[in-house]
A and B are shown apart, each in its own frame.
Chain A
Amino acid sequence: MTLKTITLTVNDMVETVDVPQNMTLLQMIREKLSLTGTKNGCAAGECGACTVLMNGEPVNSCMVLAAECEGANITTVEGLAKAGKLSKLQDTIIQAGGVQCGFCTPGMLISATALLKRNPNPTDTEVRSAIVGNLCRCTGYVRIVDAIKMAAK
């Protein structure tokens, strides 16, 4: 498999990585950069566990080829806290009790972060539709929605 060398920004760090042509962004993040916070739940773009921000927009990183990420700006769950300080949403999801097994949490936090950036004051319905692609099997979404609304305030 031919390798392609790409340079991109991940969590504010410039990274240069050799990637096989068929490697996904998810695989690159987990295997090449050892950022294992981003999770693989289906590898088919259906569960949202692998959601990252790509140039500010949430994407399923299992559906993006790493080779296409030249120059991209990527934020993963590891990039949400700045200098050891949790983001407001990370804080509210703790306070609201919106985490159980935690496997959907990274993707959920990324989708909700993107929502609050484009819509700082979302309605309940807007919150729910922003995370419709992030499946959670533990919480019934109750406290996750609470957390996003708390962060919006």
Chain B
Amino acid sequence: MANAKSKEQVINPIGASFTRNDVYEKVTGTAIYTDDFQFGNKLLYARAKRSPYPHALIKRIDTSKAEALPGVKVVVTGKDFPNRIGLYLQDKTIFATDRVRFIGEPVAAVAATSEEVAMKAIELIEVEYEELEAVFDAEFGASDKAPLIHPDLDKYICPNFIFPKAHTNIANHFKIRKGDVASAWEKCAYIVERSFKIPHIQHVPIETHVAVAQMDEKGKVTVWASSQSPFAQRNLIAHALHISQSDLRVIAPMVGGGFGSKAGVTMEAVPVALATKCKGWPIKFILTREEEFYTNFVRQGLTIHVKVGCDKEGNLLALKNMMYWDGGASTEYGTNVTRAGGYSSSGPYDIPNVETDSICVYTNHPIGGAYRGFGMSELHTGLDQAIDELAEKAGIDKVTFLKKNGVSEGDVLVTGMIMHKNGIQECIDNVAKSLKMGEKEKPSSPDRLRGKGIAIMWKAPAMPPNPGSSAWVEMSEDGNVTVGLGGQEIGQGTFTVMAQMAAAALGVPYEKVRIAGPVDTQYSPYEWQTVASRLTWSMGNAVVLAAKDARRQILETVAEAWKESTEDLDIINGVVVSYKSERETSLENIVIYGMPKENNEGWTGGPIVGRGSFMPKYVTNLDAETGQGPRAVVHYTVGCEGLDIEIDKNTGTIYVLKGAASFDVGKAINPALVKAQVEGGFAQGLSSAMFEEIKLVKGVMTNPSFVDYRIATAPDMDFPLDTPFVEVPQDDGPWGARGVGEHPMVPTIAALGNAIYDAIGIRLFNPPYSAEKIYLAMLDKGLVK
């Protein structure tokens, strides 16, 4: 007993910054991504024929010349795949059928023995179009003057929380009517009214989209994909092809960055369509970097008109938001972005009177999809900058203004939901302290102007009311634990965090836990999607339940063998101990073979397999006219960011001196991973704030390369970034944890805009805040000559 393993020093897995469990493979080049699978000589290469027009009718497609080209195995067009699919609004087909709606939309595809042949074949496909008038502006698109992009919108299927308007381009109109906004304006001492236009941007995972599909002779399909959503893809692609979900298997290895772009279904359906006409052959489809920029999901553009008012003391009284989302050619996912923008439209402020119209509009632009914290960066860019001005107008220090109006426990939110306990006050304090907000500091040179900006945010997981998670826990003879799960490791570190949770719930050291990967819909338990910062909370709950289930089975086995009660038993450091008899046994062998009962009475136990399943059951729909209901979302994560910057008067260049970001994560299961998420998200937010814009001219993206679409590089991030986190526990989160993957890029544009305003006294309404824009604004205002 003296040297028992149960007494060895063991690190509590919860709150420990273990190194990632996928990292050895990633630093040695042995981690397997989709394009790394070997398919042998039979592999075919797919290319898509894409629309050169933003809006046109397809009059004729002739594929005969392509089909005759040696090396071409199969050519497909939209006529064979008429089923509409979509995660929320079913408005999309795999290929355009009768009309094209954006430049880059696939109209046909080929599979050939080499990339070169496939590209040649694409050139040989003849498509005759009749161009139609196009829509390039969401506000115009919503008007009755605009040509219809989806004339059959009234026939599309969608869930009952999406509100399309038949015979218009409005795919969803989400409304909030809380309190009495009209009369509240009279009580306001100060009012600010502003309009912002936030451009389309791209996720830019360094790994472009790639999928390989193969159909066997019996008609079963296997897809290997770089994917955040293997199960959603199984469901949607099966639906598109009229096959059973269980006949479609998705294998999803490591993902080289997702940020929402690899959620739902996009290009993955193309190789599957080809595979159905070419049984037995694996077909690979990989997007070029140019295709990645505009043929797949982008972050949709937003025009937001915001009017906000407060009383003399600075208490927010009223808010009116008019949001036009440039949803693009399909809004199957964008309708829910619009919805999220609507039900969170007050931001993390306590405002009694709110009126919001969040309108998702079809345009002939690239398709808007989920992008890290969708709807929230866009919304907060407008709202937090308007509020910055309102605080100034009211003559109240900005930090004080935010703290006064920040949402707190018991507040009636914009949807009527009651706010839970949260740490927004501490988040604001952390940032204010880190940046010495309110203290005017000198610039480093007379050529520079210095400013500080702060902005707060909130975000709820944006999803249907009932997205499920499940997990299993198995063990091997050596006592090691394998966790089966269906959420994806996309870089955020979820496999590591899940291993930590399983270790803690079971009572074994972290090092003993493995994750069963890659996620494979044939073996892995169901997970809705790896989106919405929901895994730590939702999949975490399922993993904990599975681990506890396994633990119960182990304790029951030992209790029966020892003729003791499970209440006297515990598992510590991978050893079952009895507090009553002080006996112990290691988990080795007993988790497979069970245990002999005493007195030769036979055996007890057997292979241990724990199961866990979690689904939120308390989210309710909201009233279509008022957006009010008991519980709009599962919970909100709140936070605050700030920037201390200098601006060069001669060039308009921004130099960041320091950044600070603080989020209430409930509980940091792995503090180093939390900080890494915050750093990366802050950088992505700052990159979008300073550089990023999909430049669209009549539907053409004019900058689809890294030369013309710049993202932040290492020298751009050359400043200290302070990331203290706050831990106010979530009532139904594992150890109180809630998600933080998306949140760090939400308030960054607003924080930078507020810092620029503090530095130069000019408000900029059209991010990105490039040096050129800043310089021209300073020139315009006579700040420089």
Chain A residues within 8 Å of B, Cβ to Cβ: 34-44, 46-47, 49, 76-78, 80-81, 86, 90, 93-95, 97, 99-106, 109, 124-125, 127-129, 131-145
Q: Are A97 and B672 in contact (CB under 8 A)?
A: yes
Most-contacted residue by chain A among B203, B681, B714, B717 (CB, 10 A): B714
- The answer for the CA separation of A106 and B774 in the assembled complex, in Å, is 37
B706/A39 in contact, CB under 8 A: no
CB–CB B676/A100 < 8 A: yes
Q: How far is the CB of A34 from chain B (nearest CB, A)?
A: 7
Q: Please, what's the 1-or-0 string for B702-733, where 1 marks a CB less than 8 Å from any CB in chain A?
A: 00011100011111011001000000000000
State in angstroms the CA–CA spacing of A144 and B680 once bound together: 11
Known contacts A97-B676, A124-B718, A140-B717; is A77 also within 8 Å of B28 by CB? yes
- The answer to whether A100 and B680 have CB atoms under 8 Å apart is yes
| B749 vs chain A, min Cβ distance (A) | 16
Report the nearest B residue to A1, measured CB to CB: B116
By the criterion CB–CB under 8 Å, are B288 and A43 in contact? yes
Q: Say yes or no: A138 contacts B491, CB within 8 Å.
A: yes
Taking a contact as CB atoms under 8 Å apart, the answer to whether B705 and A44 are in contact is yes
Residues of A with C-beta under 8 A to B19 = 94-95, 97
A101 in contact with B257 (CB, 8 Å): yes
Contacts A46-B705, A93-B27 given: A41-B673 contact, CB under 8 Å? no
Q: Which residues of the other chain, A, contact B717 by a CB distance below 8 angstroms?
A: 128, 140-142
Residues of B contacting A36 in the complex (Cβ-Cβ under 8 angstroms): 29, 32-33, 35-36
Besides the known contacts A42-B289, A46-B705, A128-B717, 9 further A-B residue pairs in the complex with CB atoms under 8 A apart: A36-B33, A43-B289, A46-B707, A76-B29, A94-B23, A99-B27, A100-B492, A102-B491, A105-B27
Given the complex of chains A and B, what is the CA–CA distance between A143 and B491 in angstroms?
14
Q: Is the interface of A mostly helix, strand, loop or mixed?
A: loop
Of all chain A residues, the one with the shortest Cβ separation from B258 is: A101
- Which A residues touch B31, using CB under 8 A? 102
- Which chain A positions have C-beta within 8 A of B207? 39, 41, 101, 103
A106 nearest in chain B by CB position: B29
Q: For the complex, is B641 an interface residue (Cβ under 8 Å from A)? A: no
A135 → B minimal CB distance (Å)? 6
Q: How far is the CA of A42 from the CA of B718 in the complex (A)?
A: 25
A2–chain B nearest beta-carbon distance, Å: 14
Task: A36 to B19: give the CA distance in the assembly, Å.
Answer: 24
B613: CB under 8 A from chain A?
A: no
- Whether the pair A37, B715 counts as a contact (CB closer than 8 A) is no
| B256 to A, closest residue via Cβ | A103
Among all A-B residue pairs, the 4 with the closest Cβ atoms: A37-B29, A140-B683, A103-B256, A101-B491
Tell me the B residues contacting A by CB distance below 8 Å.
Answer: 17, 19-20, 22-33, 35-36, 38, 203-208, 254-259, 288-289, 490-493, 672-673, 675-676, 679-684, 705-707, 711-715, 717-718, 721
Neighbouring A residues of B721 by C-beta, 8 Å: 140, 142
Closest to B19 in A: A94
Q: How far is the CA of A94 from the CA of B256 in the complex (A)?
A: 17
Q: Which residues of A contact B32 (CB under 8 A)?
A: 36
Whole-angstrom distance between the alpha carbons of A22 and B298 in the complex?
33
Pull 14 A–B residue pairs with CB atoms less than 8 Å apart, ordered by A: A34-B38, A37-B30, A39-B206, A41-B207, A42-B706, A78-B30, A80-B28, A90-B27, A97-B20, A100-B493, A124-B718, A128-B718, A140-B717, A141-B712
The 8 Å CB contact of B713, one of A77, A105, A135, is: A135
> B713 near A132 (CB under 8 angstroms)?
yes
Residues on the B chain within 8 Å of A76, using CB: 29
A-B contact count (CB 8 A): 167
Decide: A101 and B24 in contact? CB cutoff 8 A: no
Main SS of the interface on chain B? loop
**Assuming the A-B contacts A36-B36, A101-B256, A105-B26, are A139 and B20 also in contact, with contact meaning beta carbons closer than 8 angstroms in the complex?**
no
Given the contacts A135-B711, A136-B206, A137-B711, A86 and B29 also touching, CB distance less than 8 Å: no
Complex Cα spacing A124 to B676, Å: 19
Q: Are B29 and A38 in contact (CB under 8 A)?
A: yes
Q: A137-B259, A140-B680 are in contact. Are A125 and B718 (CB under 8 A)?
A: yes
For A49, what are the chain B residues with a Cβ–Cβ distance below 8 Å? Answer: 206
Contacts of B28 in A (CB 8 A): 37, 77-78, 80-81, 86, 90
A41 touches B289 (CB 8 A): yes
A127→B714 CA distance, assembly (Å)? 9
Q: Given A99-B23, A101-B257: A144 and B205 within 8 A (CB)?
A: no
Distance A144 CA – B288 CA, assembled complex (angstroms): 27
A87 to B274, CA, bound (A): 44
Report the separation of the CA atoms of residues A26 and B24 in the bound assembly, to the nearest whole angstrom: 23
Q: Name the A residues within 8 Å of B715 (CB-CB).
A: 125, 128-129, 132
A67–B255 Cα gap in the complex (Å)? Answer: 31
**Most A-side CB within 10 Å, residue of B27, B254, B684:** B27
Q: Give Cα A86 to B25, complex, Å.
A: 11
- Residue from A41, A86, A140 having most chain B Cβ neighbours under 10 A: A140
User: In the complex, which residues of chain B have a beta carbon less than 8 angstroms from the beta carbon of A138?
Assistant: 257, 491, 680
Residues of B within 8 A of A103 (CB): 33, 205-207, 256-257
- With a cutoff of 8 Å between Cβ atoms, the chain A residues found around residue B203 in the complex are 137
Residue of B nearest to A79 (CB): B29
A39–B706 Cα gap in the complex (Å)? 16
A125 — which chain B residues lie within 8 A by C-beta?
715, 718
| In the complex with contacts A44-B289, A101-B256, A137-B29 CB distance below 8 A | no
A140 touches B684 (CB 8 A): yes
Question: Which of B24, B206, B259, B490 has a CB less than 8 Å from the CB of A47?
Answer: B206
> How far apart are A102's CB and chain B's nearest CB, in angstroms?
3
* Chain A residues in 8 Å Cβ range of B20: 94, 97, 99
Q: Are A139 and B683 in contact (CB under 8 A)?
A: yes
Closest beta carbon of chain A to B514's beta carbon, Å: 18
Q: Are A131 and B714 in contact (CB under 8 A)?
A: yes
A39 partner residues in chain B, CB cutoff 8 A: 33, 206-207, 256
Contacts of B705 in A (CB 8 A): 42, 44, 46
- A104 and B206 form a contact (CB under 8 A): yes
In the bound complex, do residue A102 and residue B676 qualify as a contact, i.e. CB atoms below 8 Å apart? no
- A103's closest neighbor in chain B, by CB? B256
In Å, the complex CA distance between A139 and B17 comes to 16
Task: Tell me, rounded to whole Å, the shortest Cβ–Cβ distance linking A113 to chain B.
Answer: 12
Q: What's the least CB distance linking B377 to chain A, in Å?
A: 15
Is there an interface contact between B35 and A40, defined as CB atoms closer than 8 Å? yes
**What are the residues of chain B within 8 A of A102 when measuring CB–CB?**
22-23, 25-27, 31, 254, 256, 491
